[in-house]
Amino acid sequence: MQAKQGDLLATLDGTLVVSCQAESGLPLDAPGHIAAMARSVVLGGATGVRIEGAANIAAVRAAVEVPLIGLIKARRDDTEVYITPTLDDIAAVVEAGADIVAIDATARPRPAELKAMFASIAARGRLSMGDVATLDEGRRALDAGADLISTTMAGYTNYSSDQRGPAFALMEELARAGLPFVAEGRIWSPHEAVRCFELGARFIVVGGAITRPDAITRRFADEVAASSARPQLRRNPT
């Protein structure tokens, strides 16, 4: 199993993984649509996918053969942690067919201890990814047994800096500390993606910039609206 896991990570190093997700209630929020998105991004060159929800994971697993990072988003009243927060969620993600299980590995109070979470993933023969917001959380996750850490939660906790773009500052800190990391979160352009690699990312995960047509359209619409509000920027008719 160790050799197989090493081979899996080797296929991801230096490449693009795409997160295929849709928020609840949006038109693409259905396993068949998510599977179609996954097939599309793989055709476009993605070497792996990140998928939320057991039903979506199962549908995508049947549709593509690339490495699959799986998670479950479960909102709970007893914790702010919502990315694969429990041992039962881990079991569901693995049973659905994920190769790598992503969990929230922030320092916030949680239903189960990190060591127990990562041990459960390892016992099921899967790799683990700890989504963190700070350098200390990255160290803590790796010490607790995570196979990978990612910058996913940077800017999404009440103690990490609110950011409009990728968490470059956190990437620099992780690199200086010698901690291998995956870059994820608010990567909107190929230029930003390349910058993540320059800062030392093992691989990158891009989501909304590729698989969220509502968000992509909103960015264009906002720019068009802003330009229309500034007549001096409009070209004079010839």
Question: b or e along 20-32 (b: 16 or more beta carbons within 10 Å of the residue's beta carbon)?
Answer: bbbeeeeebeebe
Give yes or no for a contact between 103 and 132, defined as CB atoms under 8 angstroms apart.
Answer: no
Q: Which residue has the higher pLDDT, 234 or 75?
A: 75
> For a pLDDT cut of 90, what percent of the chain falls above it?
88
Instruction: Tell whether the model's pLDDT for residue 232 goes beyond 70.
Output: no
Residue 237: band (very low, low, confident or very high) from pLDDT cuts 50, 70, 90 = low
pTM for the model stands at 0.93
| Maximum CA extent, the chain | 70
Write the pLDDT tens digit of every residue in 133-164. 999 999 999 999 999 999 999 999 999 876 78
Task: Kindly compute the dihedral angle of the four CA atoms of residues 189, 194, 22, 46, in this order, to the nearest 10 degrees.
Answer: 120
CB atoms within 10 A of CB 126: 21
Q: Where are the domains of the chain?
A: 2-227
Superfamily (CATH H level) for 2-227: Aldolase class I (3.20.20.70)
Q: For 50-69, what is each residue's pLDDT tens digit?
A: 999 999 999 999 999 999 99
Q: According to the model, what pLDDT value does residue 121 have?
A: 98
In this predicted structure, what is the pLDDT of residue 164? 81
